[in-house]
Structure 1
Amino acid sequence: MAPSKNSYNISKRKDDIEMTTAKLSKLQYSYEEALEITGHGKYNYGLLLTCFVLIIAMGIDIFGLGIIVTASTCDLDLTLSQIGILSSMSFAGIIVMSYPWGYLSDTRGRKLVLMWAMCGSFISSAISSLSPTWQVLAALRFISSALSSAAESATYALIGECCGTRVRAKYMLLITSALMITPTLYYITAYLIMKLDFTIYLLGIVYRPWRLLTLIMALPLGLAALMLSFFSESPKFLANVGRNEDAVKVLKRMYVANGHDGDSFPVKQIYLEDGNKEDVGVFSLQSLWTQIAPLFKPPLLGRTALLYYLTFVTYIANNSFAIILPTIFNIFFTSYATSAADASFCDLFHLSNTTTVEVKQDPSECKNTIEDNTIWAGCAHGMSFFVLNALISQCAGKRKPLTIIILVIAAIAGVGIDNTGEAISGLVLFYIFLTTAMVFGVISSYFVDLYPTSYRGMIACLGMMVARLSAFTGTNILSGAMTDHCSVALYSGAGIVLSGAVAAFFLPSDSSIPS
């Protein structure tokens, strides 16, 4: 019996519905699928370069303060205690603003936060070159570092959410290598500028080379903001706050920028594997609590405690020395020239403590020069760490074993610094001890991989608060301990680093982390 016309129409209608459903299903992709479709090309490389400059600008603004303080010591008639206060202003600014930047990054957007922060930091840093007193300089550098510190979390979130899983960890480590090269950049800049000899009376201040150096070191902040203006907000952030149409438009822009025809872009709708959180952009006390509370409750509590402890270990062992590194180098090379051949690393600091006498200079006679050996040592530190971090980034798929190996080697070096019986070999081991900086990028990449989109900015910014509190405390302890209790300081640092290596065993393997 032949089928009726009515049954034929019903069957055809079912086929049409199935075809329509199939077409619609092909237009909706998960975020990671959509990101992979955009490809990898000019947009990604350009954003990587921009984020590279962002981190360099932040690094110069925060850690370059040490070289500015060294260069301005005579002109501002600084005492040792005032030098300590000035040097710690960078960390103080970060501590105050870590939580706000985390909240704003997760609720207002990665790019928006970075644009405002870098522009504000540029203005404050540039004005600080005209500071009439050390108190004004301290206040302006506090503001500058508080603003530029936004780059340390929002930058990693931005690049991590705009690159596919294939290159994400590698890019995280490459960006960290930007932080390693900053000492070379500001040491070389200082070397060139401080060789100048001029005195200009301007607006009631004496304008000398260190002020020009301060202004030049502020320029990367403005450049970073300018470069960032050519890129879009993180599409994953947009999707997370319910702006799916805008997210698709950004993904399409990336698709076209990477060399594809926009008309062939298949993605019309996207969804997030960890779910959208559309109320995250609403400012309220409830929103603040929503952002932070889950980080300290199961199932995130364990990984938060582990990553924050590793953050504490690496930053107290590294940044505590990094901010006063110009002073350490100056003391080392000055004492080495007059010491016995068998003097150890710590002997030189004890020698400086017993022979140094504070001499007041007439500000009108200040030359504000920096020792050449300090410049070359700083450049060697920056370049070697940059190359090493770039090489390590090629092994981005083995983050856990890399972390353990780096921390174990650094701990061994820390124990050996003052036990070689000779100063130069102790200095080499001191360099190796500072390789704990190689772990910074690894920790930052875990902040992106192990947390939902809504909490990434917050977890990273709170992590920076932990980091800078550690560094702030360590810097103030070390400034006195390196002369009187050098060996104890180094052994304590080595012990802390070794405990970090033990903690790193509890990190998840890369193969177990979902993409």
Structure 2
Amino acid sequence: MSDSYRVSEHPEGDIELKKVRDYSSGDKPSELKSADEEVDLERAIELTGFGWYHIGLIAICGGILVATVCETMGMSFVHPAAQCDLALTTVKKGYLSGAMFLGIVVSANAWGFFADTFGRKKVLLISTIGTWAFSFMSSFSPTTNLFIVLRFLTGLFCSNQSTVYAYITEFLPTSKRASIITWTCGFMAIGYLLIPGLAWLLIPLEVNWDLGFVVYTSWRVYLAAIGSLSFATGFLLPFFPESPKFLMSVGRKREALNVLRLVYNRNSGNSNVEYPVKNLKSDVHDTPGHVTTALSFTLQGLFKLMWHQTATLFRPPYGWTTLLFCLIQFGICVTSMGMYIWIPNLLNMIKSGAGIGATICELVLANQANLTLNSASESADCSSLIRSEVYTSTLVTGVFSVVAFGTLGGLVAILRKKTVLVSALFLSGIAGFGNYFATNEITVAVLISVSVAVAGSCSTVSNTIAVEVYPTNLRAMAVSLAFTIGRLGIALAGNTIGILIESYCDFTLIGLGCVTLLCSLLCILLPE
């Protein structure tokens, strides 16, 4: 660690500069010429250091990401478990799958706008509590239609992932930003472990609580448990301040300085008054014009302002970059999270398939033939049993996700982010192609998990680059827009991949590999 200067005040009012330890990157001394020197925000953040405050920030932001993953992807276990209680047909399962993501797509851009206009912390607090409230209510749904409506409303509030990226970025020293964001987003891999873990723990339980209007069964307990993660993060958020960069962007310099003093205090253990920065320099790129101008707080005024801010992302100098981020996020989400929905079915099919030497497509054909032969003799009794193989197969992908996020988190700290992104997507694409040719059960399981897990972790690296490209007053909106397009990809893939694999298996598997490789090529065009 290097030395920097701190300010201490004598009773007489004199100011003395004393050396203190620099708790940031530790590479070079961070000295101020005088106590009254105006310091730009990036340097001021560096002088807060890196310590316990940031560890807490990583934990709360990581927790929000875990809750988001569990809320969106955890429904894959609700579908089979609830099919008897709610008389779910295949069509209704499709509606239920799409309802959540439709809500996310509809609201994601709006949440980004609100985060850039009213503050990151406010948006995160409202969205996490709203997600929990509607998710908890959905666990009491007595009918399918009400369940679909409540899952759509849950999705409306579950679009806060992009705001998390903007919020944590604006507290981090530049030297640690890329690696810390990637590590924080690695919490999502924990979500992929929690989903099958909680499902395996709760869904097999014999729960039948008759509440009069509904029988509360084990899958409802599982759904409520997933929603409680959002409540926990919403409960802890008030203990954290608003982003100093947002405060600067709306002209609240004094509040921004107080936040930086608080961060310094929690990181170093020193008093707030010992923070060496006394004056912050305004950044011309983060002017508060879009907020401090006379804003009509009517529905028409908000939509007009939202449209203006969205249109700005597609004008020079951001237009081409915004398009690239949207296309990359769409492709990544199709081949990772969209495919993830079908992993339990595919791996389970392989375990009960035609034996050694059969490819995935041959197993799909064999499975369809078996279903046709057995359809006449199948019992009419409804079964919501989920076999243990489904849980273990999904846990395998979760383990690969943890490894992928951890590896990329380490690589972006020592290599260029764009190099890591291009290389990882190329690896995922090759693994995707390998799925088509593999005939060994273990090889198929590993390749599917690698292609999905690596591509999914690349979404984080892409967002890491995005938050550094855009200024503060456009950052959350830009990431939200790419996030929205990505969720469109998930909704599309979640509703079509299963059908396409059954009807055009060869085309689908090769096509998914091509999409990932195309994303790898597009990443080469991203700005440094």
TM-score by length of 1: 0.89
| 1:348 to partner: Cα distance | 2.0
Secondary structure of the equivalent of 2:285? coil
Structure 1 segments, 4+ long, off by >6 Å, are none
Aligned twin of 1:100: 110
Aligned twin of 2:201: 192
| 1:425 to partner: Cα distance | 1.9
Work out whether 1:119 is the aligned partner of 2:165. Answer: no
Instruction: Deviation per CA, 1:76-128: give whole Å up to 9, x if none.
Output: 22111211221222211111001111110100111100000100110110111
Instruction: Deviation per CA, 1:348-386: give whole Å up to 9, x if none.
Output: 2222223334967556xx5x3321111111112112211
Aligned twin of 1:354: 369
Instruction: Deviation per CA, 1:459-494: give whole Å up to 9, x if none.
Output: 011111110112212222212112121221111111
Aligned twin of 2:289: 279
Secondary structure of the equivalent of 1:232? coil
Secondary structure of the equivalent of 2:525? coil
Aligned twin of 1:431: 449
Root-mean-square deviation over aligned CA pairs: 2.0
Contact in 2 for aligned 1:91/1:472 (Cα 8 Å): yes
Give, as a single letter, the amino acid of the residue that structure 2 aligns with 1:487.
D
Aligned twin of 1:86: 96
Instruction: Deviation per CA, 1:145-189: give whole Å up to 9, x if none.
Output: 220221x11101010001111211111111221112212102111
Work out whether 1:465 is the aligned partner of 2:492. Answer: no
- 1:26-65 alignment runs, 5 A limit: 26=37, 28-65=38-75
| 1:398 to partner: Cα distance | 2.3
Contact in 1 for aligned 2:131/2:230 (Cα 8 Å): yes
Contact in 1 for aligned 2:425/2:516 (Cα 8 Å): yes
| 1:287 to partner: Cα distance | 2.8
1:212 to 221, 224, 234: 221
- 1-structure distance, mates of 2:509, 2:145: 32
If each structure's helix is expressed as a fraction of its own residues, which one has the higher value? 1
Secondary structure of the equivalent of 1:233? coil
- 2-structure distance, mates of 1:119, 1:478: 33
Work out whether 1:495 is the aligned partner of 2:514. Answer: yes
| 1:445 to partner: Cα distance | 0.7
Give, as a single letter, the amino acid of the residue that structure 1 aligns with 2:227.
A
- 2-structure distance, mates of 1:116, 1:203: 32
Instruction: Deviation per CA, 1:177-231: give whole Å up to 9, x if none.
Output: 1112212102111111122113221132122111111111111000011121110
Contact in 1 for aligned 2:35/2:277 (Cα 8 Å): no
- 2-structure distance, mates of 1:306, 1:395: 23
- 1:70-469 alignment runs, 5 A limit: 70-150=80-160, 152-258=161-267, 259-281=269-291, 282=295, 283=297, 284=301, 285-333=303-351, 335-336=352-353, 339-356=354-371, 357=375, 368-396=384-412, 397-434=415-452, 435-469=454-488
| 1:286 to partner: Cα distance | 5.0
Contact in 1 for aligned 2:347/2:445 (Cα 8 Å): no
Work out whether 1:483 is the aligned partner of 2:510. Answer: no
Contact in 1 for aligned 2:208/2:215 (Cα 8 Å): yes
Aligned twin of 1:7: none
Instruction: Deviation per CA, 1:284-318: give whole Å up to 9, x if none.
Output: 35532442222111111121122222112211111
| 1:394 to partner: Cα distance | 1.1
| 1:41 to partner: Cα distance | 1.0
Larger radius of gyration: 1
1:69 to 76, 79, 85: 79
Contact in 2 for aligned 1:90/1:145 (Cα 8 Å): yes
Contact in 1 for aligned 2:400/2:449 (Cα 8 Å): no
Give, as a single letter, the amino acid of the residue that structure 2 aligns with 1:394.
G
Secondary structure of the equivalent of 1:369? coil
- 1-structure distance, mates of 2:87, 2:304: 49
Instruction: Deviation per CA, 1:53-78: give whole Å up to 9, x if none.
Output: 00001110111111111221222221
Aligned twin of 1:12: none
Compared CA separation, residues 329 and 88, structure 1 to 2 (3 A): farther
Contact in 2 for aligned 1:306/1:503 (Cα 8 Å): yes
- 1-structure distance, mates of 2:480, 2:206: 41
Compared CA separation, residues 276 and 173, structure 1 to 2 (3 A): closer
Contact in 2 for aligned 1:91/1:469 (Cα 8 Å): yes
Compared CA separation, residues 24 and 260, structure 1 to 2 (3 A): closer
Larger RCO of the pair (alpha carbons < 8 Å, separation 6+)? 1
How many residues are matched? 481
- 1-structure distance, mates of 2:47, 2:206: 56
TM-score by length of 2: 0.87
Compared CA separation, residues 403 and 502, structure 1 to 2 (3 A): same
Give, as a single letter, the amino acid of the residue that structure 1 aligns with 2:176.
V
5+ long unaligned stretches in structure 1: 1-21, 510-515
Give, as a single letter, the amino acid of the residue that structure 1 aligns with 2:523.
A
Secondary structure of the equivalent of 1:229? helix
5+ long unaligned stretches in structure 2: 1-32
Secondary structure of the equivalent of 1:188? helix
Stretch of structure 1 that moved more, 413-422 or 428-437: 413-422
Contact in 2 for aligned 1:65/1:90 (Cα 8 Å): no
| 1:341 to partner: Cα distance | 2.5
Stretch of structure 1 that moved more, 444-453 or 426-435: 426-435
Stretch of structure 1 that moved more, 498-507 or 152-161: 498-507
Contact in 1 for aligned 2:189/2:401 (Cα 8 Å): yes
Contact in 2 for aligned 1:84/1:479 (Cα 8 Å): no
Secondary structure of the equivalent of 2:436? coil
Aligned twin of 1:11: none
- 2-structure distance, mates of 1:351, 1:279: 63
